[in-house]
Amino acid sequence: MDSLTPERRSANMSKIRSVNTRPEMVVRSLLHRRGYRFRLHRNDLPGKPDIVLPKHKAIILIHGCFWHGHNCKIASSPKSNKEYWTPKILSNRTRDARNLEKLREQGWHVLILWECEIRKIDIAEERILSFFADLKAAT
């Protein structure tokens, strides 16, 4: 049973953004400080990726742990309305896998950063730098 009224739950959910989220802004700031230039939310690519670096043929996807079904401490299972949320998160994961496959088929290199990783900025920065080092080594 939900502890909030349907009206209050609806108000809470309406405030959750899908673009320009805090984790996304942290990664964008980090990239910009490192001199990387990028495009945002290109709707001509599968899944409308969060960050696109055309010069490097690279994409960085920022996944919220709850919404994309990550197996970590901050991605708790839904406590209420499980009949809705369980299939919803499963369909998000299926869609993510389908979009990732399409992007790779188009020749894009993709890095997925999870919200829990971005909370530890040093881990996120290390993963990003490693990603670009691997790209550079491959060319």
Q: Give the range of the structural domain holding residue 50, as residue numbers without chain letter.
A: 6-138
Residue pair 7/63 in contact by the 8 Å Cβ criterion? no
Q: Identify whether 73 is part of a domain.
A: yes
Q: Identify whether 1 is part of a domain.
A: no
**Residue 127, phi-psi category: left (phi > 0), alpha (psi -120 to 50), beta (remainder):** alpha
Q: Identify whether 61 is part of a domain.
A: yes
Q: Identify whether 79 is part of a domain.
A: yes
Q: Identify whether 88 is part of a domain.
A: yes
Q: Of 54, 45, 30, whose CA–CA distance to 128 is shortest?
A: 30
Does residue 53 sit in helix, strand or coil? Answer: strand
The model's pTM is 0.87
pLDDT above 60 (res 15): no
Number of domains within the chain: 1
Pairing of strands 39-40, 58-63: unpaired
> In Å, how far are 20, 59, 111, 121 from 23, measured between CA atoms?
8, 15, 14, 10
Residue 85: its pLDDT value, please? Answer: 86
Q: Identify whether 68 is part of a domain.
A: yes
For helices 22-33 and 121-138, the axis angle rounded to 10 degrees is 50
Residue 106: its pLDDT value, please? Answer: 98
Residue 116: its pLDDT value, please? Answer: 94
Average pLDDT over residues 58-81: 87
Q: What is the CATH number of the domain that holds 86?
A: 3.40.960.10
